[in-house]
């Protein structure tokens, strides 16, 4: 095994790209391999803005987290499919506003989980567990989750750029209903998902998916707006801006931080997001 791979757990196949490591590379991280960098480069080759989707999502994640911590007053966070720890993780954003907030991260990638535990578990308010977000019963009954979060008080649950990596044969609306049902009243769900607007506008994102499949990564399911709406069952969506009546919008349009310089391009608008409150 090369020096680049020397820190990798033995069960990890370093010849197959990983969603978590591809995101890490797209965000400027260092915990990725040539196979991951090649997959991202190939996607950029067929749709030049492809890797920018990760940064668009991370910027929205930060804005949504600031809202949840400051405006909604949430003090507990369950971040599913969190990936590799990188800049501006959920707990870092939250603790600038509330240094007593509890955060649990979950990911099924053993490299992400190992890094997360090594970097984050030394803080008594943060935990990182290995788990499959498509199995809510296992996550919700995990002893670390139950020991670290109080399910009698509001919790913010994240599905931030996670469910579009799950196949169509899973009952994703049912999985989300399970999670929402388990949350106490006053909780929030923050969800983002790759979007196929259909027709010619969706052609670039379909090319991205074909490229990732060609590199051995069955990821990036760009779904319709209707399919994404089904992942927010029974939630009251927060308006996406001061003059907006919509809750599910392209991430670039969800409470942007300020004026936008230049046109971000059509691909960067092909990821929708919302923050919803459980009544």
- Answer whether residue 266 is part of any domain: no
What pLDDT, on a 0 to 100 scale, did the predictor assign at position 24? Answer: 82
Structural domain count of the chain:
1
In a domain, 32, yes or no: yes
Tell whether the model's pLDDT for residue 28 goes beyond 70: yes
User: Is pLDDT of 12 > 80?
Assistant: no
In a domain, 268, yes or no: no
- Asked, for residue 272, whether it belongs to a domain, the answer is no
pLDDT, tens digit (0-9, with 9 covering 90-100), for 112-152:
888 788 777 667 899 999 999 999 999 999 999 999 999 99
CATH code where residue 97 lies: 3.40.50.150
Q: Over the stretch 221-259, which tens digit does the pLDDT of each residue have?
A: 899 999 999 999 999 999 999 999 999 999 999 999 887
Assess if residue 137 is contained within a domain. yes
Is residue 11 helix, strand or coil? Answer: coil
Residue 32, Cβ neighbours under 10 Å: how many? Answer: 23
State the pLDDT at residue 131. Answer: 96
Q: With 50 as the cut, is the pLDDT of residue 72 above it?
A: yes
Q: What is the band of 273 on the pLDDT scale with cuts at 50, 70, 90?
A: very high
pLDDT of residue 9: 60
Identify the top-confidence range among 30-34, 178-182, 196-200, 214-218. Answer: 178-182
* Averaged pLDDT, 199-206: 87
pLDDT value of position 122: 61
User: Is 155 a residue whose pLDDT tops 60?
Assistant: yes
Q: Compute the average pLDDT of residues 161-180.
A: 96
pLDDT for 90-118, tens place per residue? 999 999 999 999 999 999 988 788 878 87
pLDDT at 218 over 80: no
pLDDT range class, residue 1, cuts 50, 70, 90: very low
Mean pLDDT of all residues belonging to the chain? 88
Long-range contact pairs involving 128-133 (C-beta distance under 8 Å, separation at least 24): 128/82, 128/85, 128/104, 129/104, 129/105, 130/106, 131/106, 131/107, 132/108, 133/80, 133/81, 133/106, 133/108, 133/159, 133/162, 133/175
Confidence at residue 148, expressed as pLDDT on a 0 to 100 scale: 96
202 within domain boundaries: yes
For residue 151, give Cα distances in angstroms to 55, 105, 109, 125, 155: 31, 16, 26, 16, 7
Q: What's the domain range around 45?
A: 3-257
pLDDT in tens, 37-65: 987 787 777 767 777 888 999 999 999 99
What pLDDT score was predicted for residue 3?
52
**Residue 72 belongs to some domain of the structure:** yes
Angle subtended at Cα 158 by Cα 243 and Cα 270, rounded to the nearest 5 degrees? 55
CA distance 265 to 184: 39
**Is 114 contained in some domain?**
yes
């Amino acid at each position: 095994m090369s020096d680049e791979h020397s820190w990798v757990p033995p069960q990890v196949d370093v010849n197959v790209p990983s969603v978590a490591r591809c995101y890490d590379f797209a965000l400027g991280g260092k915990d990725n391999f040539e196979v991951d960098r090649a997959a991202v480069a190939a996607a950029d080759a067929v749709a030049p803005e492809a890797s920018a989707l990760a940064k668009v999502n991370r910027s929205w994640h930060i804005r949504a987290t600031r809202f949840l911590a400051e405006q909604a007053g949430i003090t507990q966070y369950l971040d599913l499919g969190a990936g590799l720890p990188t800049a501006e993780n959920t707990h870092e954003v939250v603790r600038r506003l509330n240094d007593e907030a509890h955060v649990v991260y979950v990911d099924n990638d053993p490299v992400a989980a190992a890094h997360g535990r090594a970097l984050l578990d030394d803080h008594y308010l943060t935990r990182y567990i290995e788990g499959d977000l498509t199995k809510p019963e296992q996550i919700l009954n995990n002893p670390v989750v139950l020991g670290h979060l109080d399910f009698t008080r509001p919790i913010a649950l994240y599905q931030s750029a996670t469910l579009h990596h799950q196949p169509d044969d899973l009952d994703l609306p049912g999985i989300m209903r399970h999670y929402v049902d388990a949350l106490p009243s006053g909780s929030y769900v923050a969800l983002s998902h790759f979007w196929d607007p259909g027709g010619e506008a969706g052609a670039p994102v379909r090319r991205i998916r074909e490229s990732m499949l060609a590199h051995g990564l069955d990821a990036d399911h760009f779904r319709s707006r209707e399919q994404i709406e089904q992942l927010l069952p029974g939630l009251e969506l927060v308006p996406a801006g001061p003059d907006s009546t919509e809750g599910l919008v392209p991430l670039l349009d969800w409470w942007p931080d300020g004026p936008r310089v230049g046109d971000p391009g059509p691909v960067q608008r092909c990821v929708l997001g919302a923050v919803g409150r459980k009544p």
